[in-house]
């Protein structure tokens, strides 16, 4: 089946040398418009006079959520003792991993430094927090430092549990048909090398997702679409088989989006096997082992996209901050109120980003809306005032469906579609402007968020 004609002349051009498909001046102008629209949808921090306080605030984690929280606090408070703890000196733009794995961006596209985003007035401690003691209002680091706080913001991200898949070796990503965009920029680039080799020859490709909660649940779907498109462009689709192994009976948690993806998969002859959970691989034999309701199932492959189970980091999972019962307890997600991101048992603690145990929200777009809510409630507590913001579960997924086309899917806790640009971007249509937003406009918006401007 051939690709639909792209009147803008981009969809039928294959990326070369790690660059995006060619873009006309019109594309760049509209990309700028899209970026401007995204920023107008943002909360502009620092518009009001700073509030003076001596509050001690600790932020655990200097990823997207932690840095955004630090910047907003620095913009809104004067005199506060704000410390952010994270041992990692590199900062990763994780939404770019899919683009790197698709051969659209170089490996260094997602790499910057933590230091460049630390706002004035915030102290960065390059140590990892290994113990949370919310009863005593203190944390302990891997270097043995003990720090006390009045307020704690937990933004540790999550843990990729590769050990849960028997035979998985992250050092072999990019070799023998093994891919995994999630393991970091280098692994994402190695994944692209594996995809490129696979699509030149054809064969059987396996895709899927873990049974646990995960960051950007649309990533496995877009990785499947992108690989399918490359096979078609390179003339090897007819001698290839693509299988998507769904961990349950749907393809996406939002029913209307799941149905749309099902229809697109059917149209593009992508096979789906439901209730398949990857539990082991044999990288040498290129064999995957799945747990299914009927027992163990083995499938041989030429290429496999491995996405590991994801859980809260051990310091959170093994602390009093984790959920003690319910669906989020098994993987240790942080127990927070879904509307306020405030901990349900420790009122001076907030959880934002991937670590938060909420029904939706493990994307960078979610962070953009979660952080202002948590900051609003934290500062209202300092002031003795009533907070005004709530988080409704907003999550965004620019779902690439082929090179040059994407669907901008936005939804909330109730699975309602909540488009930011009604009349301009239809959420369930494959549009080039959604592609441009994903590949060009979103990174500047992300950086603005880190700096407290979005």
pLDDT by position in tens, the chain (length 454):
333 323 233 333 344 333 444 444 444 444 445 554 554 444 444 456 899 999 999 999 999 999 999 999 999 999 999 999 999 999 999 999 999 999 999 999 999 999 999 999 999 999 999 999 999 999 999 999 999 999 999 999 999 999 999 999 999 999 999 999 999 999 999 999 999 999 999 999 999 999 999 999 999 999 999 999 999 999 999 999 999 999 999 999 999 999 999 999 999 999 999 999 999 999 999 999 999 999 999 999 999 999 999 999 999 999 999 999 999 999 999 999 999 999 999 999 999 999 999 999 899 999 999 999 999 999 999 999 999 999 999 999 999 999 999 999 999 999 999 999 888 889 899 999 999 999 999 999 999 999 998 7
Q: What is the rounded distance in angstroms from the CA atom of residue 157 to the CA atom of residue 331? A: 13
pTM: 0.91
Q: Please state the separation of Cα 247 from the chain's center in Å.
A: 19
206 burial (CB, 10 Å; 0-12 / 13-18 / 19+) is: buried
Q: Are 155 and 353 in contact (CB under 8 A)?
A: yes
Active site residues per annotation: 216, 397
Q: What is the rounded distance in angstroms from the CA atom of residue 359 to the CA atom of residue 244? A: 24
Q: What is the rounded distance in angstroms from the CA atom of residue 401 to the CA atom of residue 264? A: 9
**302: which 2 tokens?**
């030429």
**245: which 2 tokens?**
């192994």
Element (H, E) at 279: strand 277-282
Q: How many CB atoms lie within 10 A of CB 443?
A: 19
Contacts 24+ apart (CB under 8 A), 5-9: 6/404, 6/405, 6/432, 8/404, 8/432
Provide the CB-side half-sphere exposure for 160 (13 A, CA): 14
Q: Are 286 and 302 in contact (CB under 8 A)?
A: yes
In a 3-state reduction of DSSP, which class is residue 16?
Answer: coil
In a 3-state reduction of DSSP, which class is residue 421?
Answer: coil
């Amino acid at each position: 089946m051939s690709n639909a004609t792209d009147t803008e002349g981009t969809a039928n051009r294959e990326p070369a040398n790690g660059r995006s498909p060619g873009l006309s001046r019109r594309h760049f102008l509209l990309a700028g418009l899209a970026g401007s629209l995204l920023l107008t949808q943002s909360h502009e921090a620092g518009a009001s006079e700073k509030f003076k306080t001596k509050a001690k605030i600790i932020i655990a984690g200097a990823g997207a959520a932690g840095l955004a929280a630090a910047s907003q606090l620095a913009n809104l408070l004067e005199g506060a003792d704000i410390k952010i703890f994270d041992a990692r000196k590199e900062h990763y733009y994780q939404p770019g991993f899919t683009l790197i794995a698709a051969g659209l961006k170089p490996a260094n596209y997602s790499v910057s430094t933590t230091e460049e985003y630390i706002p004035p007035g915030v102290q960065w401690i390059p140590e990892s927090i290994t113990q949370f003691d919310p009863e005593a209002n203190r944390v302990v680091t891997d270097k043995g430092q003990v720090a006390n706080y009045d307020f704690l913001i937990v933004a540790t991200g999550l843990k990729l549990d590769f050990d849960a898949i028997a035979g998985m070796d992250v050092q072999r990503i990019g070799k023998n048909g093994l891919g995994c965009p999630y393991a970091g920029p280098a692994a994402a680039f190695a994944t692209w090398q594996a995809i490129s080799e696979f699509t030149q020859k054809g064969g059987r490709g396996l895709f899927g997702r873990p049974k646990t909660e995960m960051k950007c649940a649309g990533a496995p779907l877009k990785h499947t679409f992108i690989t399918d498109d490359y096979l078609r462009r390179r003339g090897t689709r007819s001698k290839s088989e693509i299988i998507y192994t769904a961990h349950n009976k749907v393809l996406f948690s939002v029913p209307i989006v799941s149905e749309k993806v099902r229809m697109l998969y059917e149209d593009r002859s992508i096979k789906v096997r439901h209730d398949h959970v990857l539990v082991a691989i044999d990288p040498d034999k290129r064999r995957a082992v799945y747990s299914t309701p009927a027992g163990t199932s083995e499938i041989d492959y030429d290429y496999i996209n491995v996405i590991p189970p994801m859980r809260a980091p051990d310091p959170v999972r093994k602390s009093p901050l984790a959920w003690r019962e319910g669906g989020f307890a098994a993987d240790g997600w942080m127990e927070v109120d879904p509307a306020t991101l405030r901990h349900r048992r420790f009122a001076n603690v907030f959880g934002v980003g991937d670590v938060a145990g909420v029904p939706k929200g493990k994307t960078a777009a979610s962070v953009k809306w979660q952080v202002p809510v948590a900051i609003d409630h934290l500062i209202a507590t300092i002031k003795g005032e009533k907070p005004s913001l709530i988080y409704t579960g907003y999550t965004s997924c620019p779902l690439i469906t082929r090179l040059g086309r994407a669907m901008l899917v936005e939804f909330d806790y109730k699975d309602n579609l909540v488009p930011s640009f009604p009349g301009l971007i239809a959420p369930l249509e494959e549009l080039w402007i959604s592609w441009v937003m994903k590949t060009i406009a979103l990174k500047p918006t992300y950086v603005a968020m880190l700096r407290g401007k979005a």
